[in-house]
Structure 1
Amino acid sequence: VLAFIGARNAGHAFNQWADRDLDAANPRTKDRPLVQGRLSSRAVLLLVAGNLAVFFVAAALLRPVLLLLALPAVALVLGYSYTKRVTAWTTVILGAVESLVPAGVFLAVDGTLPPAAFLGIAALVAFGTAFEIVHSLQDVEADRRLGLRSIPVALGVRPAIWLQGACLALALL
Structure 2
Amino acid sequence: MEGVRAVTTVEDATGPAPAQGLGGKAKAFKNLVLLEHSVFALPFAYIAALTAMFSASRTVHWRQLVLVTIAMVGARSFAMAVNRIIDREFDARNPRTARRELVTGVLSVKAAWAGAITALAVFLAAAASLNWLVFWLCPLAVVPLVLYPYGKRFTNVPHALLALAQAIGPIGAWMAVSGAWSWSAVVLGLAVGIWIGGFDLIFALQDIETDREQGLGSVPAKWGVAVALTGARAAHVVTMALFIVFGALTHAGGFWWFGIVVVAAAFVYEHALLSPTDLSRLGRAFFTVNGFVGIALFCFALLDLLVRGLRG
Task: Mark yes or no: TM-score above 0.5.
Answer: yes
Q: Which contiguous aligned blocks of 4+ residues in structure 1 show a shift greater than 4 angstroms?
A: none
TM-score computed with the length of structure 1 as normaliser: 0.97
Q: Does the alignment pair 1:112 with 2:180?
A: yes
Matches within 5 A, 1:1-173: 1-173=69-241
Name whichever of 60-69 and 19-28 sits farther off.
Answer: 60-69
Q: Is the 8 A contact 1:99 1:124 kept in 2?
A: yes
Q: Is the 8 A contact 2:198 2:233 kept in 1?
A: yes
Name whichever of 37-46 and 76-85 sits farther off.
Answer: 76-85
Q: Distance in 2 between matches of 1:171 and 1:113?
A: 21
Q: Is the 8 A contact 1:15 1:78 kept in 2?
A: yes
Q: What amino acid maps onto 2:122 in structure 1?
A: V
Q: Distance in 1 between matches of 2:134 and 2:157?
A: 28
Q: Distance in 1 between matches of 2:174 and 2:222?
A: 35
Deviations 1:54-109, CA, capped at 9 Å, x for gaps: 00000000011212211121111112111110111111110111111101111101
Task: In structure 1, list runs of 5 or more residues that go unmatched.
Answer: none
Give the secondary structure class of the aligned counterpart of 1:97.
helix
RMSD: 0.9
Q: What amino acid maps onto 1:60 in structure 2?
A: A
Q: Is the 8 A contact 1:15 1:81 kept in 2?
A: yes
Q: Distance in 1 between matches of 2:129 and 2:81?
A: 24
Q: Is the 8 A contact 2:152 2:218 kept in 1?
A: yes
**Which has the higher Rg, Structure 1 or Structure 2?**
2
Q: Is the 8 A contact 2:175 2:182 kept in 1?
A: no
Give the secondary structure class of the aligned counterpart of 1:99.
helix
Q: Distance in 2 between matches of 1:43 and 1:163?
A: 38
Instruction: Count the aligned residue pairs.
Output: 173
The percentage of aligned residue pairs carrying the same residue is 35
